[in-house]
Structure 1
Amino acid sequence: MTDQQQEISADPPQVKRRVARRMTMISGIAVLFVAGVAAVVLAADALLLVFACILCSILLYKLSEILAQKLHMKRKLALGIVVLLLAAIIGIGGWAMAPQIAEQSSKLAKEIPAAVERLQSEVQQHPLLKRVVAELPPPEQIVKQMGSMVPNAGLFFGGVIGALGNVIIILFVGIYFATSPQLYTNGLIRLVPQSNRPRAREVQKELGHTLSSWLMGKAASMLIVGVVTSVGLSMLGVPLALILGIIAGLLDFIPYLGPIMAGIPAVLLALSISPDLALYTVLLFVGIQLVEGYVLQPLIEAKAVDLPPALVIVMQLVFGTLFGFAGVALATPLAAGLAVLVKMLYIEDVLGDRSGLQKKPG
């Protein structure tokens, strides 16, 4: 007779109550899982927007914490200074460069179709490339597809108004989160059983440390890539260097895929002038990515989670398929957060394996 049979024969009412509790728990977990999947599917855009707000708040909190430590002031005062400085930099920079950016943006929208047409006409002379070009869509459709890659964050509005509206939402909600983060984190931790709350706080702190380190490093990397790309393209004589550099800096937020997306319009414009200039443009982008990959990226990963490139690309494909361009843009920080949760909650707590998982130096 097995132990379970002995237990049943010894005290059937007690065992039945245990079985009933287990069945109730399993049913509850199943219902919560289904509800969570339904929430992700039905409210994916809203959840991604909330995650973007959290990333913004983490970045603002980290900047204000650094300023408060350097100047020995209260963190909320430092947060106000950080917000004012960022607003001043963006406002003054936007006011100074807005005419040039607007002019170059309109020119870029006109030059890309013309560059594609010139490329198609030139490669028609090569028999091997002729079949490939025949399979390409017309230039107008290519531009339309490139436009559809812009983050579909218009939850309440469409087009440019929707994007601007969501930027405002992310900034304001991020400021509110960064002002009193304990108010929200404590509320979430209270949902955890009391015996597990100390571990929940450890996980929350590790998540915040990982994402803040990654965001700080990525923000510096984006700025460097944008400036170097603009200067390099300008020195090479590629037209619209400023707007192309801004695009390269913004898309650098997306590892691996972002630089390719940023390099395509620059190479097309350079190719419309001469093949040699296109080659130099390709070499410029390759050089920038080599420096970023071997210098900047290791510095970011030294204080954040080390994500294998294959995992990042797979996550970008998965989230891009599920949520569009916004999923691709947020795939890497989502993967970093999931890596921390899997490491701490499954590998360490469930499997009990803490070997080789020491925290990276801060």
Structure 2
Amino acid sequence: MTEQHQEQAADPPHTQRRVAKRTTMISGIAILFLFLAAAIVLAADALLLVFACILCAILLYKLSEILARRLHVKRKVALVAVVLALAAIIGFGGWGMAPQISEQSSKLAKEIPAAVERLQGEVKQHPILKRIAAELPPPEQIVKQMGNMVPNAGLFFGGVIGALGNVVIILFVGIYFAATPQLYTNGVIRLVPQDHRPRAREVQKELGQTLSSWLLGKAASMLIVGVVTSVGLGMLGVPLALILGIIAGLLDFIPYLGPIMAGIPAVLLALSISQDLALYTILLFVGIQLVEGYVLQPLIEAKAVDLPPALVIVMQLVFGTLFGFAGVALATPLAAGLAVLVKMLYIEDVLGDRSDKVGKPG
């Protein structure tokens, strides 16, 4: 009886310590969550810039890995070759087309307000559309809102100089990440408890394969869309076909919403010539998007995460509301990464369901 009383007397302090430990752990997790939430809100632009650097590093690493495998050279040597090749293509291409791009950009800035005015004039002739036209802002305000998208497109700094600064940061940090990825990935893995490190490496590998496959496919899709749009608009006789094709190719990085944004100035310019030309321009953009949606996109999703269109659009709206245009641009790769994390860490590890595959491994 004496031993039993001693155990009962010793049990409450033990229980209190256990409760105190749990309380401290829960409080620590809550504080950490609040800290992370505050960091995301206050440093959203910087975090998006870091994510863009990671995407650049993944793309460079994948290209150098493919080149090293084909040429049987070291991967760092292949990385140098990839960087030099991209610099040469961008440098010579920019040097050769810079005068034409500059001229067409200036003309585009002048033509859009006039095209909007002509469109509003034609709309006012129809009684049903006249009410809608009355609710639209003046052409100057529409052009100003379109122009405001350029500074908002920056991830960290604002304005044109800031956008160029973002590109330089993304390229240089991406090259450093791609040169020695193990240095950074091993550092992240060491933050995970030792028992879970093998699984963490599996998740990391799956994330890298998913994002690299998506980036390679999207880069090819952007190039095809840009070239086909420029050639198609040139054959139709739409003015400023080169700059409109470049815009279409760049905005193709944003699924669903990007082609609509790229098509608006092209249709407005075509409408300034004739309604038939505007109709043909719309059909051109619709045709390009149908080919991309039913041919190019399935090839991309065959080795990446198959994201439902509704989910992608919702993610674009959510990230666009939170982070501006940069959030819209990066919403799809962010959604792809989150899909992999949910599949592997929650569906497979927590729920134990490994039969329902959210994505396909590359």
TM range (shorter): over 0.9
1:79 aligns with 2:84: no
**Aligned equivalent of 1:266:** 266
**Aligned equivalent of 2:183:** 183
- 1:246-265 equivalence runs, <5 A: 246-265=246-265
Contact 1:104 1:240 in 2 (8 A): yes
Quick one: which amino acid aligns to residue 273 of structure 2? I
Percent identity of equivalent pairs: 87
Structure 1 SS opposite 2:353:
coil
Q: Which runs of 5+ in 2 are unaligned?
A: 1-6
For residues 239-278 of structure 1, the C-alpha deviation after alignment (integer angstroms, 9 at most, x for no partner) is: 0000000000000000000000000000000000000000
Matched residue count: 356
- 1:111-150 equivalence runs, <5 A: 111-150=111-150
Alpha-carbon spacing, 1:132–1:8, altered in 2? closer, same or farther (3 Å) = farther
Structure 2 SS opposite 1:306:
coil
TM-score, normalised with respect to structure 2: 0.96
Contact 1:149 1:325 in 2 (8 A): yes
Q: CA deviation at 1:357?
A: 2.0
**Aligned equivalent of 1:3:** none
**CA–CA distance in structure 2, aligned partners of residues 360 and 333 of structure 1:** 15
Quick one: which amino acid aligns to residue 139 of structure 2? P
**CA–CA distance in structure 1, aligned partners of residues 59 and 155 of structure 2:** 23
Contact 2:67 2:78 in 1 (8 A): yes
**CA–CA distance in structure 2, aligned partners of residues 199 and 155 of structure 1:** 32
Structure 1 SS opposite 2:152:
coil
Q: CA deviation at 1:124?
A: 1.4
Alpha-carbon spacing, 1:70–1:121, altered in 2? closer, same or farther (3 Å) = same
- 1:30-45 equivalence runs, <5 A: 30-45=30-45
**CA–CA distance in structure 2, aligned partners of residues 198 and 337 of structure 1:** 19
Q: CA deviation at 1:199?
A: 0.6
> Which 4+ residue blocks in structure 1 deviate beyond 6 angstroms?
7-10
Q: CA deviation at 1:26?
A: 0.5
**CA–CA distance in structure 2, aligned partners of residues 37 and 361 of structure 1:** 31
Quick one: which amino acid aligns to residue 262 of structure 1? A
Contact 1:153 1:162 in 2 (8 A): no
Q: CA deviation at 1:18?
A: 1.6
Quick one: which amino acid aligns to residue 129 of structure 2? L
CA RMSD of aligned residues (A): 1.5
**CA–CA distance in structure 2, aligned partners of residues 325 and 147 of structure 1:** 12
**Aligned equivalent of 1:25:** 25
Contact 2:340 2:359 in 1 (8 A): no
For residues 15-49 of structure 1, the C-alpha deviation after alignment (integer angstroms, 9 at most, x for no partner) is: 22221111111111100100000000000000000
**CA–CA distance in structure 1, aligned partners of residues 155 and 270 of structure 2:** 37
Alpha-carbon spacing, 1:8–1:324, altered in 2? closer, same or farther (3 Å) = farther
**Aligned equivalent of 1:219:** 219
For residues 99-157 of structure 1, the C-alpha deviation after alignment (integer angstroms, 9 at most, x for no partner) is: 00000000000000000001111121111111111111111111111122236365765
